[in-house]
Homo-oligomer: A and B are copies of this chain.
């Protein structure tokens, strides 16, 4: 790969698609700022004291307009920042350009190859010989993964002299990871160890990434403290739910212009993402069928008037299929073969393995017709009928539209900023061990509170007497930890 790092006039590194889009990006960033009151409040509250003075932050998170506002909040608080995207299709090139020109070292563009993707991740983690970042903002856990795999390989190498072998795995993407680590090992066999040493902690954004962290914690392999931002109420019950309710129809419309009303939509999974997707499809006039493994979520779907069936029951009748499970192998090529002509298949949950893209690509005689980028019609040889796959099976809201809107991302990202501040503030106190933490409820409530004014809301205040009656402080937190909202 002959990718070259470029430099701004001020000497900051970057690699983006088209620097000439920076002005356009800046205009949209300015619009987004108005919609992101949580982040802007952080700038007002913390900016003057420059709490991140001296901190190096690496982010691996969709390089969108909203993320640009996050990045520039971190820099406004004193941080130095390097950034890559966490998805090959999710970068908005004008956002990347504006950020690269004005604020941070950005390595991201829409439509990276997997090799380019990991090159970008490596660049974002590379702060020079003095080790890596102090803090990581992660989404999906790829930056965290690279360090953990790197450290593991270095240990093995130190012990046995053995280099990681990309041929040891079938997983094409993991082969790339191992290749990167192997090549790095040759030049600096302590690279990831040095990163680990310096690293204060990571804050992670998604269900998938968090799951990996808890597994590492359970296995005792977690190398640094982690804050689980995903399970802040103001993240999982907002971004996942209301974000997807917004972005699923957005992606469908931009990719296919299809009328949703009157169609049968199958939503696989009825967690927060699935709930948002099902609500969006129902409201747009589709008939919605949910598939679920969990009887509680299934019963919730039923209470909303949704039908709960298996994919097999409905595969040949539905028009739109959306995966939201966070699991793999949800829609297989055998399902796809049975679908109606021009059925739409897309994923908004997780990696591209929710949909059996590999099975589809390797199906004998299948023909791929690219309507436009991220919108492909795949025609089966037997039936000559085709299905429409969005974003090559990856997150369709980021691949086909622009991800979640600014307002709801402001909730998520304000959690990120608060988590980063917390990790950095406590870097020397030992408060955080090599474990996974969630933010305390009063901070979660604070994030919500920062977003009310923009929407014209007015909160009621408890009297002392009322607060005593229900045994909570007047100023909150208002709910016990197990409260489900």
Question: A254 on the interface (CB 8 Å rule)?
Answer: yes
Tell me the nearest residue of chain B to A290, going by C-beta: B457
Residues of A near any B CB (own CB < 8 A): 24, 27-28, 31-32, 34-35, 65, 211, 214-215, 231, 233-234, 236-238, 242, 245-246, 249-250, 253-254, 256-264, 272, 282-288, 291-311, 313, 317, 326-329, 341-342, 369, 371-372, 377, 388, 401-402, 404-408, 411, 438, 444-446, 448-449, 451-452, 455-463, 465-466, 469-471, 476, 478-482, 484-485
Copies in the complex: 4
Known pairs A254-B254, A299-B451, A469-B328; A460 contacts B292 (CB<8 A): yes
Asked if A285 and B242 make an inter-chain contact with CB atoms under 8 angstroms apart, the answer reads yes
Residues in B neighbouring A254, C-beta threshold 8 A: 250, 253-254
Residues of chain B with a CB closer than 8 A to A301's CB? 457
Measured CA separation A423–B18 after assembly (Å): 54
What CA separation (Å) do A67 and B42 show in the bound complex? Answer: 50
B300–A237 contact, CB under 8 A? yes
Pull 29 A–B residue pairs with CB atoms less than 8 Å apart, ordered by A. A24-B371, A24-B372, A28-B257, A31-B388, A35-B258, A35-B259, A35-B342, A231-B482, A236-B484, A237-B300, A238-B303, A242-B303, A245-B261, A246-B259, A253-B401, A253-B405, A257-B406, A262-B303, A286-B305, A292-B459, A293-B476, A294-B479, A295-B448, A295-B449, A299-B455, A308-B455, A308-B459, A313-B458, A328-B469
Chain B residue with minimal CB distance to A410?
B259
Complex Cα distance A298/B453, Å? 11
A234, A310, A448: most-surrounded residue (chain B CB, <10 A): A448
Across the interface, do B402 and A257 meet the contact criterion of CB distance under 8 Å? yes
CA distance A329 to B464 in the complex (A): 12
Q: Which label, helix, strand, loop or mixed, suits the secondary structure of the A interface?
A: mixed
Residues of B within 8 A of A341 (CB): 34
Known interface pairs A297-B485, A452-B299; A261-B246 also in contact (CB < 8 Å): yes
CA distance A478 to B298 in the complex (A): 12
User: Given contacts A234-B299, A258-B35, A402-B257, is CB(A285)–CB(B310) below 8 Å?
Assistant: no
CB distance from A467 to the nearest CB of B (A): 9
- In the bound complex, do residue A456 and residue B317 qualify as a contact, i.e. CB atoms below 8 Å apart? yes
